Amino acid sequence: MSNAASPARWTRWFTDRPLGLKIGAVLALLVVVVAGTNVLSISRMRDMNAVQEEIYTENLRPLNDLAAMQRAVAAYRSRVLQYPVYTPADRPAITEQAAEKLADLKAAVDSYTPYIIDQAAAATFETEFQKLVEINETQMIPAADAGDLEGFGRLYKDVAAPVVSDFSQALEDEGIAQSTQAQARNAEAAAAADQAVVLVVTTALIGVLLAAGLGVFMIRRLLSTVRSVQATVEAMATGDLTVVPEVRDADEIGQMAASLAAAQVALRSVMASVVASSDAVAAASEELSATSAQISSSAQETSAQSGVVSAAAEEVSRNVATVAAGAEQMGASIREISQNANEAARVAAQAVAEAETTNATVVKLGDSSREIGNVVKVITSIAEQTNLLALNATIEAARAGEAGKGFAVVANEVKELAQATARATEDITRRVETIQGDTSGAVTAIGRISEIIGSINDFQLTIASAVEEQTATTNEMSRSVQEAAGGSTEIAMNITGVSTAASSTTQALGQTQQAVDELSRMASDLRTTVARFTY
């Protein structure tokens, strides 16, 4: 299930991409195919170049070295065979040339040695050729120098020719081995080239088929949605709004189809609303026609009654003007009462202040009388102590006898003085207590007077406040009555305007009736127009 769902999800994802992305994906796939084919071709070409380089390095160049060896051997043999023909004077030059050819042969052998294929043939060549050199240098050249041409020929035929045949065969075998290897490598290169061609062509075909398949798939999806949208638009052109486009993808075409479907839904809703509204307009126009007729009748009645109301409004205006004059006079009287009440409140407040000052003074007097009482108590105490001292002094004088008589007289005088002081202080105490009692009564009376004056002050303030409120009320009433007088006059004028407006309303209602008839006709036309659509 998951394996089957994955391609479906991938297809869903791809088909929902924008058109630019899908077209770009096809082009990108083609680019990848072309690039991959080119990369593969270049890689195979490099492989073939490497094979060719290997064939040249390991086969063609060794064959050239092998040919150089054969040429050097042939040149050496030629110089040896020509040796008897030359004069003794020219033979050193021939010998030198033969030595040069041996050097060329050695150089060719050294160059060829790394590329030897048939090691046995190479060893045979080296051994047999060395034999030939020894035969030439030890037997054939000395025979030629001795003038024994017959012996020279016999040595070549019987001794040198078999050796030449052996190393020549060895060279031929090595050449065959090199040729065989070169042919094999060439065949491998040809096979690799054929494989490269097949691989490149196969890769290109697969890429082209994938790109073509993706393009065909995308085009079919696009054409399906476009044909669905085309069918919907053609149906809408004939008034049929029930043909809904098929929305398969979320690309630009799919979004266009979805938008068209949403527009159809909205248009069907609008059509239904238009039909309902046209029916409502038709019904409302009929009701409006009946209402206009009723309003026209009411306007005529209003015009007739407005004259009566205008006369009554003028009478009300005159009565209100009279009331306004009376309210103005009452306001003046109340303002005078307010001034007197404020003055009385001010005097009462001053009396309260004076009573409080007097009360404070009397309180201080009570405090002073209490202080006097305290002083009298001290004096009484001193008199008692003095009387006690005088009594003690009299007792001591009596004990002293004649010697204390004078002191007894003084002590008696002091005693009498102390008793007189005590009687005086008692009298002062009674009087101070009387003053304190009177002072307390005065304080109480003054306090009651202050309370009464305060109450009077409060009453005066209340009266003043009430008078001020009544003044404001009277002023407001006067202003309201004046405004009412002006308003009644304006009402009379407006009633006249109402009468005129009622006449104008009657005329306008006639025009409204015409507009209602036109609106009813337009609603009927609108229903007829909408009826052509199927929704």
Here the CATH number for the domain that contains residue 159 is 1.20.120.30
Based on the fold, state whether residues 306 and 454 are members of the same structural domain: yes
In this model, does residue 160 exceed pLDDT 80?
yes
For residue 259, being part of any structural domain is answered with no
Strand partners, 534: 240
Question: CA–CA separation, 139 vs 127, rounded Å?
Answer: 18
pLDDT of residue 5: 46
Which stretch of 123-127, 210-214, 238-242, 409-413 has the lowest confidence by average pLDDT? 409-413
Question: CA–CA separation, 14 vs 33, rounded Å?
Answer: 20
For residue 448, being part of any structural domain is answered with yes
In this model, does residue 358 exceed pLDDT 60?
no
Based on the fold, state whether residues 179 and 313 are members of the same structural domain: no
Output the six-digit token pair for 303. 């015009």
For residue 133, being part of any structural domain is answered with yes
Query: How far is CA 366 from its chain centroid?
Result: 88
Mean pLDDT in residue range 434-441: 71
Nearest to 272 by CA among 457, 63, 527, 70: 527
For residue 62, being part of any structural domain is answered with yes
* DSSP helix/strand/coil, 201: helix
Tell me, letter by letter, the H, E, C secondary structure of 16-58: CCCHHHHHHHHHHHHHHHHHHHHHHHHHHHHHHHHHHHHHHHH
In this model, does residue 74 exceed pLDDT 80?
yes
**Which of the pair, 453 or 176, is modelled with greater confidence?**
176
User: Using 50, 70 and 90 to split pLDDT, how confident is the model at 314?
Assistant: low
Which of 218, 247, 277 finishes a domain? 218
Which stretch of 12-26, 199-213, 323-337 has the lowest confidence by average pLDDT? 323-337
pLDDT > 70 fraction of the chain, expressed in percent and rounded? 66
Strand partners, 240: 534
Output the six-digit token pair for 221. 């999806």
Q: Are 59 and 185 in contact (CB under 8 A)?
A: yes
Output the six-digit token pair for 222. 């696009």
DSSP 513: H
User: What string of DSSP letters covers 144-199?
Assistant: HHTT-HHHHHHHIIIIIHHHHHHHHHHHHHHHHHHHHHHHHHHHHHHHHHHHHHHH
In this model, does residue 265 exceed pLDDT 90?
no
Which of 166, 191, 218 finishes a domain? 218
Give 363's contacts (C-beta < 8 A, 6+ positions apart): 443
The b-or-e profile of 67-80 (16+ CB within 10 A means b, else e) is ebbbebbebbbebb
The overall average pLDDT reported for the chain is 76
**Which of the pair, 230 or 502, is modelled with greater confidence?**
230
Question: CA–CA separation, 131 vs 68, rounded Å?
Answer: 20
For residue 30, being part of any structural domain is answered with yes
* CATH number of the domain that residue 321 is part of: 1.10.287.950
User: Using 50, 70 and 90 to split pLDDT, how confident is the model at 8?
Assistant: low
Mean pLDDT in residue range 23-27: 76
- Does the CA dihedral 86-89-91-94 come out positive or negative? negative
Output the six-digit token pair for 346. 């001010």
pLDDT of residue 162: 94
Based on the fold, state whether residues 19 and 134 are members of the same structural domain: yes
Environment class of residue 129 by beta-carbon count within 10 Å: exposed (0-12), middle (13-18) or buried (19+)? buried
pLDDT of residue 96: 94
Based on the fold, state whether residues 202 and 323 are members of the same structural domain: no
For residue 247, being part of any structural domain is answered with no
In this model, does residue 273 exceed pLDDT 50?
yes
**Which of the pair, 424 or 59, is modelled with greater confidence?**
424
In this model, does residue 318 exceed pLDDT 80?
no
Mean pLDDT in residue range 49-65: 69
In this model, does residue 324 exceed pLDDT 60?
no
User: Using 50, 70 and 90 to split pLDDT, how confident is the model at 192?
Assistant: confident
Output the six-digit token pair for 340. 């007197």
Tell me, letter by letter, the H, E, C secondary structure of 77-99: HHHHHHHHHCCCCCHHHHHHHHH
**Which of the pair, 127 or 33, is modelled with greater confidence?**
127
Give 167's contacts (C-beta < 8 A, 6+ positions apart): 73, 124, 125, 127, 128, 129, 132
pLDDT of residue 99: 93
pLDDT of residue 218: 77
**Residue 345, amino acid:** A
Based on the fold, state whether residues 211 and 323 are members of the same structural domain: no
In this model, does residue 357 exceed pLDDT 80?
no
For residue 277, being part of any structural domain is answered with no
In this model, does residue 213 exceed pLDDT 50?
yes
Output the six-digit token pair for 49. 């170049």
Q: Are 251 and 13 in contact (CB under 8 A)?
A: no
- By residue range, what is the domain housing residue 147? 7-218
Which of 157, 191, 218 finishes a domain? 218
Based on the fold, state whether residues 187 and 304 are members of the same structural domain: no
Based on the fold, state whether residues 210 and 304 are members of the same structural domain: no
Question: CA–CA separation, 74 vs 118, rounded Å?
Answer: 21
Question: CA–CA separation, 226 vs 242, rounded Å?
Answer: 17
pLDDT of residue 346: 75
Question: CA–CA separation, 266 vs 241, rounded Å?
Answer: 10
Based on the fold, state whether residues 98 and 208 are members of the same structural domain: yes
pLDDT of residue 92: 93
Which stretch of 8-22, 76-90, 329-343, 416-430 has the lowest confidence by average pLDDT? 329-343
In this model, does residue 7 exceed pLDDT 60?
no
pLDDT of residue 104: 93
Query: How far is CA 519 from its chain centroid?
Result: 51
Structural domain tally of the chain?
Answer: 2
In this model, does residue 2 exceed pLDDT 50?
no
Give 94's contacts (C-beta < 8 A, 6+ positions apart): 79, 82, 83, 86
In this model, does residue 499 exceed pLDDT 80?
no
Tally: H helices and E strands in the chain: 10, 0
Query: How far is CA 84 from its chain centroid?
Result: 111
Based on the fold, state whether residues 84 and 214 are members of the same structural domain: yes
Nearest to 28 by CA among 201, 198, 210, 202: 210
Based on the fold, state whether residues 187 and 310 are members of the same structural domain: no
In this model, does residue 248 exceed pLDDT 50?
yes
Looking up tokens 């060279």 gives 171
Output the six-digit token pair for 295. 């309003």
Question: CA–CA separation, 392 vs 385, rounded Å?
Answer: 10
pLDDT of residue 367: 76
pLDDT of residue 83: 92
CA–CA–CA angle 449, 453, 456 (5° rounding): 140
For residue 246, being part of any structural domain is answered with no
Based on the fold, state whether residues 213 and 304 are members of the same structural domain: no
Q: Which long-range contacts (CB under 8 A, 24 or more apart) does 178-183 make?
A: 178/59, 178/62, 178/63, 178/66, 178/115, 178/117, 179/63, 181/58, 181/59, 181/117, 182/55, 182/59, 182/60, 182/63
Which stretch of 56-60, 195-199, 431-435 has the lowest confidence by average pLDDT? 56-60
Based on the fold, state whether residues 201 and 339 are members of the same structural domain: no
pLDDT of residue 151: 92
